[in-house]
Chain A
Amino acid sequence: MRNLKTALAALGVAGALGLGTAHAGDTLNAVKTRGELVCGVNTGLPGFSMPDEKGHWTGIDVSICRAVAAAVLGDATKIKFVPLTAKERFTALQSGEIDMLSRNATWTMSRDTSMGITFAGTTYYDGQGFMVKKSLGVTSAKQLEGASVCVLAGTTTELNVADYFRAQGMTFSPVVFDNPDQTSQGFESGRCDVLTSDQSQLYALRLKLSDPASAVVLPEIISKEPLGPSVRQGDDQWFAIVRWSLFAMLNAEELGLSQANVDDKKTTSSDPNVRRLIGLDGDFGKQLGLDNDWAYRIVKQVGNYGEVFDSTVGAGSPLGIARGLNALWSQGGLQYAPPVR
């Protein structure tokens, strides 16, 4: 009996030690030695991370992984993608199975403080929204008094919608489904007037309707869902690399650097901001533990934030989501990166 207890205690200690033992520099060295970045992604979410016909991963979350690989290893293809379900995503990061997690996880306080992980930034400002049939003539969520609402069971979306209607002093009747596919079928077959989910998913669900033009997504957003990459706590250098890889993409867009013109700018640009970002002036890459070409490689191999957004979720993709909150701060959005200097 005592032996059993000792064994269990030893197991517990081993478990506790297994958490949060990342030290500064550990992850970077491990990735460099391995020659490969291990990145946790979603098993299949349109626009964010999804295998295409040939089994290549595509999406905005995937592009963040590619940017980090380009910065650290010099090659955006040196990545092992680990598809993860919602339940195992944080464990995989905590246990060291993956180097970073880029799997449409919402940045919340409890995740940032108590789970042994740190969010490195926001790749996509999402939020819960509503989709209604065009024929109803509704233009704002405030006109939804008494509506029946299709919603996924057991999610925060279900709680959010109840909060929203109570706060607005309106009534609604929930129609609950088990998976997104059923939810959109319920909406299409007229079981409910309104479908609610994260906005990025509403656009994807809308495309799966037999006549996508028959439904509209309302402008109101009733919850904050900032989605971004996360890393293990305790390795500040690795945290900085992931965070600045994202910032480099944002700064590149702001400075007008794109995949197409970055080579040109590298030889001709006299703008000190551009020169600092792509490593012509200063030693910013070295300070990060990389080389000074790091941001140049990100832009050259992956593109700037705007390009990535467009080709994965934005106007250039089947989803066709407007920039909205994800526009640069200078264009009325929230995306803002600190300067390189």
Chain B
Amino acid sequence: MAVFEAKPALPPPVLTRGPVGWARQNLLSSPLNVGLTLVGVVLIVALVVPAVDWALLNATFRGTTADACTGTGACWPFVTTRLDFFVYGFYPPPERWRVNVLFALLALVIVPQLLPRFPGRRALAVFGFLGLPVLAAVLLLGGIAGLPFVETGKWGGLMLTLVLAMVGILAALPVGVVLALGRRSKMVVVRVSCTTFIEFWRGVPLISVLFMASVMLPLFLPEGVNFDKLLRALIGIIMFQSAYMAEVVRGGLQAIPRGQFEAAHALGLGYWRTMGLIILPQALKLVIPGIVNTFIALFKDTTLVLIIGLLDVLGSVQAAIVDPAWNRVAVEGYVFAGLCYWVFCFGMSRYSHALERKLQTGHKR
């Protein structure tokens, strides 16, 4: 009895599979796309090749002085010899381990948030919001538990940037939510004061807020009453960013249909439970992109403190590139600072995407 034996199928034509097929389909499918591909290739060759050449191939990586940089490329020893200054600022070297501990704690709190199955993830998040700020203040300032006191004037570099951003983010979100709720409140005094606060802080540029905090405020305080320059800047940043955050959150609140409020009332929930259990979880989920956008803007806005003489990572780079012992290192310094900001902002953006995907089970695109 003849048995049908299937012959192995022929492979698809070589032009439609593998890299060749992919290129034909994606890069060369029409005359217009052929043109665009060509333009892209030219751009890559014209821009990326010289950049890689400068930053990696012709660059100098080893050495401790300007004399080490003989090539035509970047002079990275400038960054490596000053890395400690860029990261810790004027923080006293024997105490820098405290900053490292804080960096480690930050990583410990943040990294598990990106891994959905990490055990104890929620506990870590709660610790990050409530425990970490206190612990960070104790670690960085010292003065108790045998840690020597380190005044905020000695803080600087990347560490100062992270402190400003972290405090700003942790404070602006809750304050912003409260302001947004206040602005939609039925109580006149609450509503008017919240609206006034928001409109005032949104109406002035951050740069003038910082100027007022550092130049005008000390003149109005009696002599001898000086409160910390960093604290003044922080308060300015928190006020400013929480006003923006409030408007983002209000957008979310307004997107919640009236039926949700009515249903909550029908269940007999009071104001706080309605908001906390029904409205805010939905509203905040809707505005995650807006919130993260504000965080990213806040992170980058912290550079403005350099106009009031606080040397954050960009400020310390700027203070260093004028060093006459190093010839032409401005680009290296700025690339380093830019990279620092990019890493953190890109990280935040990726996290928000992950969060959106996880939460948007109801209305996916």
Contacts and interface: CB of A to CB of B under 8 A. Distances in A.
A308 interface: no
B209 to A, nearest CB: 14
B320 A44 contact: yes
A97 B221 CA distance: 11
B283 interface: no
Contact of A95 (B226, B309, B315): B226
Interface in B162-200: none
B101 interface: no
Interface stretch (A9-17, A258-266, A286-294, A296-304): A9-17
Interface string A4-24: 000000010011011101100
B88, B93, B308: most-surrounded residue (chain A CB, <10 A): B308
A176 interface: no
Contact of B323 (A46, A81, A95, A97): A46
A19 B222 CA distance: 9
Contacts of A92: 218
A50 B153 contact: no
Contact of A96 (B153, B156, B223, B307): B223
Nearest to B307: A85
Contact of B90 (A19, A22, A47, A51): A51
A83 interface: yes
Contact of A82 (B88, B215, B309): B309
Contacts of B328: 208, 210
Interface residues of B, number: 42
B84 interface: yes
B4 interface: no
Contact of A45 (B218, B223, B322): B322
Given A50-B322, A51-B85, A55-B85, A15 B309 contact: no
B293 to A, nearest CB: 29
A43 interface: yes
B319 A88 contact: no
Interface in A77-117: 80-85, 87-88, 91-92, 94-97
Interface of A: 11, 14-15, 17-19, 21-22, 43-47, 50-55, 80-85, 87-88, 91-92, 94-97, 181, 203-204, 207-208, 210, 317-319
Interface of B: 81-82, 84-85, 88-90, 93, 151, 153, 156, 211, 214-216, 218-224, 226, 229, 306-311, 315-316, 318-320, 322-325, 327-328, 330
22 contacts: A15-B220, A43-B318, A50-B322, A51-B85, A51-B311, A51-B319, A52-B323, A55-B88, A55-B90, A55-B156, A82-B309, A83-B311, A85-B307, A87-B211, A88-B308, A88-B309, A95-B218, A96-B218, A96-B223, A204-B324, A208-B324, A210-B328
